[in-house]
């Protein structure tokens, strides 16, 4: 697998051209990038390669668009980057606000707006930002024995959390991994830390699966987690 200081996250369905154009400009300034599918080795499992690439990256550049805003794959990549202590730079190519699921992970990050065209001045600002970040120490990853806190409740409101046995969480990770690969462990950890009920937990995990048929199959297969009536 090619090793790059910069991991480029984007919606493969609609933003491929924008992502590869950005990589060409950044790499012309001697900054190594990792982007899928270009840097996925033949015969390797796609999700595992992405997890490995994010783990060794120093910065993630997120090509932020309406499509990325609603992409479960992009959300998983950003979530994993934050969990690994990788700094995220959202490069916003459309004038939209992040969905709540992304805003939670991107709050406090430096946003770069890449509109209106032309893009060249925006690429120049991005390269300057990346050089600055690469010259400073990386963020420390969270301690493995310290669970991530759930989102803050509204003022004056208690935030209940569903309590699930460790063995059941491991089974959820295994079931979800059949659809989204190694991201399942992080997704279950985050969802369990915030969900107030089993239904809310399963809804959050189902949202990680892009295919509607697979999502229904996963949710149907998780009936074992619900207590009998």
pLDDT level of residue 228 (50, 70, 90 thresholds) = low
Three-class SS state of 13: coil
Q: Over range 67-78, report the average pLDDT.
A: 93
**CA 20 from centre of chain:** 19
Q: Over range 182-187, report the average pLDDT.
A: 78
Name the percent of the chain lying above pLDDT 90: 42
Which single residue is written with the structure tokens 């310290």?
A: 146
Q: For 114-144, write each residue's pLDDT tens digit.
A: 988 888 889 999 999 999 999 987 655 554 4
* pLDDT of 148 strictly over 80: no
What is the predicted pLDDT for the residue at 141? Answer: 52
**Domain locations along the chain:** 6-134, 166-225
Residue 86 in tokens: 């990788």
Comparing 27 with 194, which gets the higher pLDDT?
27
Q: Over range 34-53, report the average pLDDT.
A: 86
* pLDDT of 95 strictly over 80: yes
Could you say which of 2.20.25.90, 3.40.50.10140, 3.40.50.2300, 3.40.50.10950 is the CATH number of the domain covering 6-134? 3.40.50.10140
Nearest to 60 by CA among 102, 17, 101: 102
Nearest to 162 by CA among 116, 203, 130: 203
Between the ranges 81-85, 154-158, 192-196, where is the mean pLDDT highest? 81-85
In whole angstroms, give the CA distance from residue 218 to residue 209.
Answer: 9
What is the predicted pLDDT for the residue at 138? Answer: 62
Read off the DSSP letter of residue 187.
Answer: H
> CB burial class (10 A; 0-12, 13-18, 19+) of residue 57?
buried
What is the predicted pLDDT for the residue at 1? Answer: 35
The answer to whether the predicted template modeling score (pTM) of the entire model surpasses 0.75 is no
Nearest to 45 by CA among 35, 37, 57, 34: 37
pLDDT level of residue 155 (50, 70, 90 thresholds) = very low
∠ CA 139-119-70, nearest 5°, is 60
What is the predicted pLDDT for the residue at 65? Answer: 96
Residue 43 in tokens: 């015969």
Name the percent of the chain lying above pLDDT 70: 86
């Amino acid at each position: 697998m090619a090793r790059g200081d910069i991991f480029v996250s984007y919606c493969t369905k609609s933003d491929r051209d924008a992502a590869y154009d950005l990589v060409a400009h950044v790499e012309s300034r001697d900054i190594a990038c990792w982007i899928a599918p270009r840097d996925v080795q033949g015969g390797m499992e796609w999700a595992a390669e992405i997890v490995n690439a994010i783990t060794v990256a120093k910065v993630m550049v997120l090509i932020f668009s309406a499509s990325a805003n609603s992409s479960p794959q992009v959300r998983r990549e950003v979530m994993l980057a934050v969990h690994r202590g990788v700094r995220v730079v959202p490069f916003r190519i459309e004038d939209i606000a992040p969905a709540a699921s992304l805003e939670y992970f991107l709050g406090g990050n430096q946003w770069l707006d890449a509109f209106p065209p032309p893009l060249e001045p925006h690429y120049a600002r991005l390269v300057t930002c990346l050089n600055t970040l690469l010259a400073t120490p990386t963020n420390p990853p969270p301690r493995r024995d310290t669970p991530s806190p759930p989102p803050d409740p509204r003022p004056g409101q208690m935030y209940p959390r569903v309590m699930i046995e460790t063995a059941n969480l491991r089974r959820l990770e295994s079931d979800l991994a059949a659809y989204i690969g190694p991201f399942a462990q992080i997704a279950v950890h985050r969802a369990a830390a915030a969900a107030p009920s089993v239904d809310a937990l399963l809804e959050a995990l189902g949202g990680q699966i892009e295919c509607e048929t697979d999502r229904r199959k996963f949710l149907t297969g998780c009936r074992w987690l619900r207590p009998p009536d």
